[in-house]
Amino acid sequence: MRIAVIEDNEALAQGIAFRLRDRGHAVDLLHDGREADAFLSQEGADLVVLDLNLPGMDGIDLLRALRRRGDGTPVILLTARSETAERVAGLDAGADDYLTKPFDMDELEARLRAMARRKNLEFTARDTLGPLVFDRTARQVLKDDQPLDIPRKEIATLECLIERRGRIVSKAQLITHVYGTGSDAEESAIEPHVSRLRKRLEPFGLRIKTARGLGYMLEIDVP
């Protein structure tokens, strides 16, 4: 899972990141609200851990901006504020859950797992793809534990195809995953990434099948 931790207390953020990375997740750390808003609009995440009290843009405004873009990424709020009104405001703005500081790290993990289940997400660090392994934490494709040289946008394309393995993935879905929700990139922009990725994977028995007018599907030849 790729988890964005948006928290201006850097010691707390590093502690959360250490725990989640130890569990095999990829973690992006952000400490400023405006920077986090730009990151989420361009890069995206599977889950978001969001502090309410942020410089640049507070957590409520960031959350509202996320939902206005139509981004349904699960969000858990972290706040030192005990007032019921603040928690209600966060939930009304689109948060899925909240924790009040100080909190137990085991409880944070449990709540993240619960949100992932509700969204049918899986906490899986690695995917086996025939002779290859996709490492979600490092965002790399490995052959015999050695990383293949694959550019970032092709990695993002493969990640989206893996998540929907066995199903057709539309160009619009790929554009959203690679370029971010709300991107003005044309659907044709994904075609060269798919083409180059297809050539890289074919020698390993992985095929990207084109469903004309519908999208693409990842297929794996099992020997």
Measured CA angle at 137 (ends 125, 101), to 5 deg: 95
Q: What whole-number distance in Å separates Cα of residue 125 and Cα of residue 26?
A: 9
- Reply yes or no on whether the pLDDT at 125 is more than 70: no
pTM of structure: 0.57
Considering only residues 80 and 195, tell me which one the structure prediction assigns the higher pLDDT: 195
Percent of the chain whose pLDDT exceeds 70: 92
Percent of the chain whose pLDDT exceeds 90: 43
**What average pLDDT does this structure show over 136-142?**
81
Q: What whole-number distance in Å separates Cα of residue 18 and Cα of residue 64?
A: 28
7 φ, ψ to 5°? -155, 125
Taking Cα atoms as reference points, which of 143, 151, 153 lies closest to residue 205? 143
Question: Which of 29-33, 77-81, 113-117, 118-122 has the highest average model confidence (pLDDT)?
Answer: 29-33
Asked if omega into 102 is within 30° of 0 (cis), the reply is yes
Distances (CA, A) of 129 to 137, 159, 188: 16, 12, 26
